[in-house]
Amino acid sequence: MPTKTQKIDQKLRAFFDQHKFLSFLILIALILCVLLLIWTIWPGTAPAWSGFQEGKTLWDWLGLLLLPLTAACGIWWYSYTARQAQRESILQRQSEAALNAYTLQMTELIFDKDLLNSDERDEVRIVARASTAAILRSMDAVRKGHVIRFLYESGLVKAHTPILDLNRLDLTAADLHNSYLVNASLQGAEMDFVNLQQADLSATDLRATNLQNADLRGAKLHGAYLRNTDFQGANCSKAELTSAIMTRANLSGVVLVNADLQDANLTNANLTKADLSGAKLKGAKLTGAILHEALLIGADLSMANLTQCDLTGADLSQAHMEGAKLSRVKLSRATLKGASFNGAVMNEIDLTGVDAREAHLIQANLRGATLQQTNFSNAILRDAILGRANLTDAVLKDADLSRANLSVANLRNAELNRANLEDCGLSGADLRGANLSGVNAQGAVLRGAILGGADLGNADLKMANLRWANLRAANLRGADLTGADLTDADVTQEQLASAKSTARAIMPDVQRHVAQQPDLPNLTPNSVGRETAVVPPPIDEETTPDST
């Protein structure tokens, strides 16, 4: 048994035998170093031709070593790179030989051992899988791609009836760009960092596959099976995932910019902080999906099902949500600026504190929604259903609520100044302390509404229905009550006197007010005293008037 010293000696001998010229240069450099040291300590010992004279510094003498040292380093680097290139060439030849041997072996198993018609537990399948696992472990990215394409073209990895099980096999960083793998089975494979750019994987089985950090830009995955697949950190920009089944998939942090996910099934998928800007999700199923802080700027989610989806902190600016189902969705801290929710079903939704400025919610169903402190400034809510919604402290400045149903809604302390409430249904609504200054409430139905302490200064209430309304301490200064119905309303003469006009109004004593004020054009007599401007649901319309 050689000692440690003997082993070191053997290694040094082997090194010097392989690098004789370099060894010679090293020896010369060592001799020069020794001479420099001696001549520096005892300058008088140096011969005259050496140039070592009194007054010379060590730095001067070190300059003599610069040329041989530079030459030695250059030669060493050339030798090193040459060895590396030689080693790489040997490895490439070995890999190519191993790949050829594997291909030959698999061909023999297919034709001689009838691999394609074998049963699941047959020895031939076990041998094929073992050989495939071994070759994949030793191959580089390009050759791993060759192996997968060979298996696919040989009919060994067809979806639904795969002959070869790739579960947990190492396909890390495999180069499969532009590959055609339609209806293949790659279920459970380890495919992190794989390159699938522009690859066609339509209807491919990728269930429970590890695709972390994979490059799927422009990949085609129409109808692919991706249940429980891990896409974390992957780039799926412009990927085509129409009708793909992605239930419980992990898509957290995934880039899906401009991806096509129309009619995809993303039930209970994790899309936390995913970037879906400009993505097409029309008709997609996102029931129970998690989209915490996801980016959905300009995304198309029309007709999508987002029931019980968690969109906390998500950015839906300019998103298209027409006809989407958003029942019991969490949208706290979300941004909805400029988003379109026309015709969306949003009953019982929680939009507390959400920024919904300039949002489009035409005919949206927000019945019973929690909208406290929500900012709907300049939003369009025409014909929207907001019955029994909680809009406490909500901001609806300059919003369009014409023909909207707000029956029995809670609008306490809401900011509605300059809002359009024309023909709006507000029967039984609680508007205590609300700011309604400058609103257009022509023909609005405020029957039984509670307006105690509300600011109706300069409001346009022509032909409004205020029967049984509670107007105690409300500010009516400058309000236009022309043709309004105030039958049994709780309002004082002082308040009415401060109004701009009460011409043709039906007063609380059921006597038409005949103040000397000119009639306004375009007011039809049969519109006076009408009960509703819209047809609200029975439970909201038939409201017991406030007796106080």
Question: Is pLDDT at 105 greater than 90 in this prediction?
Answer: yes
pLDDT over 90 (residue 514): no
The most confident of 40-44, 327-331, 455-459, by mean pLDDT: 455-459
For residue 79, the model assigns a pLDDT of: 72
pLDDT value, residue 362 = 94
Cβ proximity of 128 and 106 under 8 Å: yes
- Give Cα separations from 175 to 143, 194, 215, 218, 248 (angstroms): 8, 6, 10, 15, 27
pLDDT(544) > 50: no
Name residue, tokens 């000397």.
516
- Whole-angstrom CA distances from 498 to 41, 269, 389, 430 are 111, 59, 32, 23
Which among 278, 341, 340, 346 has a CA at the least distance from the CA of 309?
A: 346
Integer Cα distance of 201 and 186 in angstroms? 10
For residues 170 and 186, the answer to whether their CB atoms sit within 8 Å is no
Rounded to whole angstroms, the Cα distance separating 314 from 289 reads: 13
The rounded distance, in Å, linking the Cα atoms of 180 and 149 is 8
- In which band, very low, low, confident or very high, does the pLDDT at 519 lie, cut at 50, 70 and 90? very low
pLDDT tens by residue, 133-176 = 999 999 999 999 999 999 999 999 998 899 999 999 999 999 99
Rounded to an integer, the average pLDDT of 369-395 is 95
Q: What is the mean pLDDT of residues 22-34?
A: 66
Adjacent-strand bridge partners of 280: 260, 300
Do residues 185 and 160 touch, judged by C-beta distance below 8 A?
yes
- Rounded distance between C-alpha atoms, residue 173 and residue 175, angstroms: 6
Cα distance between residue 276 and residue 294, in whole Å: 7
pLDDT number for residue 31: 72
- Residues of 287-326 as b/e, b for ≥16 C-beta within 10 angstroms? bbbbbbebbbbbbbbbbbbbbbbbbbbbbbbbbbbbbbbb
- Enumerate the domain spans of the chain: 23-94
Q: Residue 44 — pLDDT band, cuts 50, 70, 90?
A: low
Find the helix packing angle between 58-111 and 20-41, rounded to 10°: 160
Residue closest to 454 by CA, chosen among 421, 483, 405: 421
Determine the Cα–Cα distance for residues 374 and 394; give it in Å rounded to an integer: 5
Query: Are the CB atoms for 439 and 416 separated by under 8 Å?
Result: yes
What are the b/e assignments for 479-492, b being 16+ CB within 10 Å?
Answer: bbbbbbbbbbbbbe
Which residue did the predictor score with more confidence, 503 or 88?
Answer: 503
Share of the chain above pLDDT 90, in %: 71
Residue 20 has pLDDT above 80, yes or no: no
pLDDT band at 60 (very low <50, low <70, confident <90, very high): low
Rg (CA), the chain: 40
pLDDT value of position 543: 39
pLDDT digits (tens, 9 = 90+) for 431-442: 999 999 999 999
Residue 225, φ and ψ in degrees, nearest 5: -95, 110
**Residue that wins the pLDDT comparison between 134 and 49:** 134
For residue 234, CA distances in Å to 141, 191, 423 come to: 17, 11, 51
Among the listed residues 199, 200, 258, 267, the one whose alpha carbon sits nearest the alpha carbon of residue 227? 267
Residue 372's closest CA among 353, 397, 355, 396? 353
Listed in order, strand segments (DSSP E) in 212-314 are none
Q: Is residue 167 a contact partner of residue 188, using CB atoms and an 8 Å limit?
A: yes
Which helix H or strand E contains 495, and what residues bound it?
helix 493-497
Residues with Cβ within 8 Å of residue 377, at least 6 apart in sequence: 357, 358, 395, 396, 397, 398, 399
Task: List pLDDT tens digits, range 294-349.
Answer: 999 999 999 999 999 999 999 999 999 999 999 889 898 899 999 999 999 988 88
Dig out the tokens for 191 from the structure: 């495919």
- Cα 2 from chain centre: 63
Answer for the pair 294, 316: CB distance below 8 angstroms, yes or no.
no
Tokens of 118: 């074998």
Residue 59 neighbours by CB under 8 Å, 6+ apart = none
pLDDT reported for residue 546? 37
Q: What are phi and psi of 240, to 5 degrees?
A: -105, 105
The backbone torsions φ and ψ at residue 102, rounded to the nearest 5 degrees and listed phi first, read: -65, -45
* Mean pLDDT, rounded, of the chain: 86
Residue 85: band (very low, low, confident or very high) from pLDDT cuts 50, 70, 90: confident
Reported as a single tens digit per residue, the pLDDT across 224-250 is 999 999 999 999 999 999 999 999 999
pLDDT at 524 over 90: no
3-class secondary structure, 280? strand
- Region 6-30: what's the mean pLDDT? 62
Separation in Å, CA 355 to CA 186, 364, 373, 396: 43, 17, 9, 11
Query: Residue 122 pLDDT more than 50?
Result: yes
Percent of the chain surpassing pLDDT 70: 80
Q: Please compute the mean of the pLDDT values over residues 16-29 and round it to a whole number.
A: 61
Confidence (pLDDT) at 518: 41
Nearest-angstrom CA–CA distance, 83 and 80: 5
pLDDT surpasses 60 at 197: yes
**Which of the four pLDDT bands, split at 50, 70 and 90, describes residue 510?**
very low
Query: Confidence class of residue 527 from pLDDT cuts 50, 70 and 90?
Result: very low
